[in-house]
């Protein structure tokens, strides 16, 4: 076993020297893969040696769990290209494995029993226990574990006094009590280590939750499918509910995969959303308020420019206000159409007592007068086309007045719609 442990210690030493000699700026995928390979080999060797021990102490098992968690974190951050954090997790894992190897080498062999209880053996055992307790004190301080070592210190003093007095049996009894006391310290340190590892994992998960919240907001702005949105929300809930280190790491890996899939299609989704908004705006081009319509067109062009410049975050932020503006234009247009329809119906109701033909004739004359007045003001090519169409409809209405007044009235309504468009061109 000592040869195996020596090999592991040499592996740890060489790995530490390699990492210490590599500047941060030259890290690459190959170096990261090497760190993972070295760390996992060290973990495997430690596991093999621990499996050969019949009664593994709580301290060794706790240390192995902590070192194994550091290797898992190493693998996770390497996938995120976080070289600085990967280096920290690697060194932490190797330091822990090196400490385990030292502790295993110090464990007594079966033949080194104290059954005969010679004073020299008991003294050596007390020295070993005192060194071990000193390390426990250092670990307790490092992990902020509050523990009263006074009883153990008194036992060590008492055991040494018994050796000095030649009472080996009393000294042996004291050493057994010291061993029992160390078990309690080990348990306290084990619990604290597990909690500390869990706390770090939760902090790590918290960073991903913040990023995932941003991603979900973006997905809603872009207008992704409900299926995709549900996947993102479910992934967030799973990570938020994860309670142990292994589950947290598993969920973070899943989120990284989901995020990568989303990022791969982000540009396509943004462009699809832009096309949809552009189609809606084009449908409102002939019936909307000119100033608001032009404002929307300007925002649409700016949105396209941002996507072209790969400023996707700025583009996503503009999607929502542009969509709101287009909705407002559409509502205003519908309101105006309803008002015009109500005006026509009211006019029809008021005219029931009058001669229908006289009413239509008067309307034709008023519209013709208004068109003649507008003819001098219209400069826009589209407006001139609409003006010509309106005059043509007026002539049709005149010819239909005697034989088909209902058709004449329909043409008059068409003229009124054209007048609205013409007025918009000269504002």
Helix (H, G, I), strand (E, B) or coil at 78: helix
* Structural domain count of the chain: 4
What is the pTM (predicted TM-score) of this model? 0.34
Using 50 as the pLDDT threshold, list the residues of the chain that sit under it: 1-7, 9-10, 13-14, 16-29, 109-116, 353
On whether both 4 and 96 belong to a single domain, the answer is yes
On whether both 375 and 323 belong to a single domain, the answer is no
Q: What is the pLDDT of residue 362?
A: 86
Residue 134 domain-assigned?
A: no
Residue 414 domain-assigned?
A: yes
Sign of CA dihedral 151, 154, 160, 165: negative
Exposed, middle or buried, 266 (CB in 10 Å: 0-12/13-18/19+)?
Answer: middle
On whether both 329 and 362 belong to a single domain, the answer is no
On whether both 45 and 95 belong to a single domain, the answer is yes
On whether both 318 and 252 belong to a single domain, the answer is no
Q: How far is CA 196 from CA 43, 66, 69, 148, 190, in A?
A: 20, 10, 11, 20, 10
Q: What is the pLDDT of residue 65?
A: 80
On whether both 321 and 384 belong to a single domain, the answer is no
Domain containing 46 equals 1-107
Token code pair at residue 314: 């700025």
Angle at 249 between CA 247 and CA 250, to 5 degrees: 65
The DSSP letter of residue 198 is H
Give one DSSP letter per residue of 395-409, joined into a string: HHHHHHTTT-HHHHH
- CA 59 – CA 30 distance, rounded (Å): 34
Residue (of 365, 342, 363) closest to 354 by Cα position: 363
Residue 173 domain-assigned?
A: no
- Is residue 344 within 8 A of residue 298, CB to CB? The reply is no
Query: Where residue 378 sits, what CATH number does that domain have?
Result: 1.20.1270
Q: What is the pLDDT of residue 157?
A: 93
Instruction: Find all residues with CB under 8 Å of 12, minimum gap 6, and list them.
Output: 42, 94, 95, 97, 98, 101
For 134-156, b/e burial (b = at least 16 CB within 10 A) is eebbebbeeeebeeeeeebeebb
On whether both 249 and 290 belong to a single domain, the answer is no
Q: Give the pLDDT confidence of 270-279 residue by residue, as tens digits.
A: 787 788 888 8
- CA 120 – CA 397 distance, rounded (Å): 127
Q: Give the pLDDT confidence of 326-363 residue by residue, as tens digits.
A: 888 778 777 666 666 666 666 655 555 356 778 888 88
Q: What is the pLDDT of residue 122?
A: 86
Q: What is the pLDDT of residue 406?
A: 85
Residue 378 domain-assigned?
A: yes
Residue 215 domain-assigned?
A: yes
Q: What is the pLDDT of residue 115?
A: 42
Instruction: Find all residues with CB under 8 Å of 52, minimum gap 6, and list them.
Output: 1
On whether both 255 and 320 belong to a single domain, the answer is no
The DSSP letter of residue 115 is S
Alpha helices, DSSP H only, in 147-167?
Answer: 150-164
Examine the fold and report which residue of 107, 139, 158 is the final residue of a domain before the chain moves on: 107
Q: What is the pLDDT of residue 142?
A: 76
On whether both 25 and 70 belong to a single domain, the answer is yes
On whether both 102 and 18 belong to a single domain, the answer is yes
- Is residue 346 within 8 A of residue 330, CB to CB? The reply is no
Residue (of 85, 59, 57) closest to 73 by Cα position: 85
Residue 129 domain-assigned?
A: no
The DSSP letter of residue 242 is -
Q: How far is CA 414 from CA 324, 369, 394, 418, in A?
A: 30, 16, 10, 6
Q: What is the pLDDT of residue 336?
A: 66
Alpha helices, DSSP H only, in 243-380?
Answer: 245-264, 266-283, 290-308, 312-350, 356-375
Examine the fold and report which residue of 281, 303, 334 is the final residue of a domain before the chain moves on: 334
Residue 345 domain-assigned?
A: no
Residue 79 domain-assigned?
A: yes
Q: What is the pLDDT of residue 17?
A: 43
């Amino acid at each position: 076993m000592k040869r195996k442990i020596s090999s592991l210690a040499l592996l740890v030493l060489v790995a530490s020297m390699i990492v210490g000699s590599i500047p941060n700026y030259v890290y690459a995928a190959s170096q990261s893969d090497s760190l993972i390979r070295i760390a996992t080999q060290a973990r495997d060797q430690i596991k093999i040696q621990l499996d050969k021990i019949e009664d593994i102490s709580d301290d060794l098992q706790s240390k192995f769990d902590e070192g194994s968690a550091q290797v898992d974190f190493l693998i996770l951050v390497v996938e995120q290209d976080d070289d600085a954090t990967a280096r920290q997790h690697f060194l932490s894992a190797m330091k822990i494995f090196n400490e385990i190897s030292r502790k295993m080498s110090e464990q007594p062999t079966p033949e080194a029993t104290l059954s005969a209880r010679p004073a020299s053996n008991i003294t050596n055992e007390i020295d070993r226990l005192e060194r071990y307790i000193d390390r426990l004190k250092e670990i307790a301080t490092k992990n902020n574990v509050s523990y009263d070592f006074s009883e153990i210190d008194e036992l060590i003093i008492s055991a040494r006094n018994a050796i000095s007095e030649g009472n080996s049996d009393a000294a042996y009894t004291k050493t057994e009590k010291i061993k029992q006391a160390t078990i309690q310290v080990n348990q306290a340190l084990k619990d604290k280590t597990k909690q500390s590892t869990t706390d770090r994992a939760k902090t790590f998960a918290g960073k991903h939750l913040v990023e995932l919240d941003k991603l979900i907001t973006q997905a809603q702005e872009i207008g992704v499918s409900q299926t995709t949105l549900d996947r993102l929300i479910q992934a967030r809930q799973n990570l938020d509910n994860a309670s142990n280190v292994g589950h947290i790491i598993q969920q973070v890996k899943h989120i990284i995969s989901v995020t990568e899939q989303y990022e791969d299609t982000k540009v396509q989704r943004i462009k699809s959303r832009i096309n949809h908004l552009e189609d809606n705006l084009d449908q409102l081009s002939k019936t909307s308020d000119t100033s608001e319509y032009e404002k929307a067109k300007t925002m649409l062009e700016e949105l396209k420019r941002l996507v072209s410049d790969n400023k996707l975050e700025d583009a996503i932020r503009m999607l929502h206000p542009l969509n709101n503006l287009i909705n407002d234009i559409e509502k205003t247009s519908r309101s105006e159409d309803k008002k015009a329809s109500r005006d026509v119906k009211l006019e029809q109701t008021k005219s029931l007592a009058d001669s229908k033909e006289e009413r239509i004739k008067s309307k034709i004359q008023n519209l013709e007068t208004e068109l003649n007045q507008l003819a001098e003001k219209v400069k826009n090519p589209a407006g001139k086309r609409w003006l010509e169409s309106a005059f043509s409809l007026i002539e049709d209405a005149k010819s239909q007045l005697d034989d088909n007044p209902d058709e004449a009235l329909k043409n008059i309504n068409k003229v009124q719609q054209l007048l609205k468009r013409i007025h918009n061109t000269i504002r």
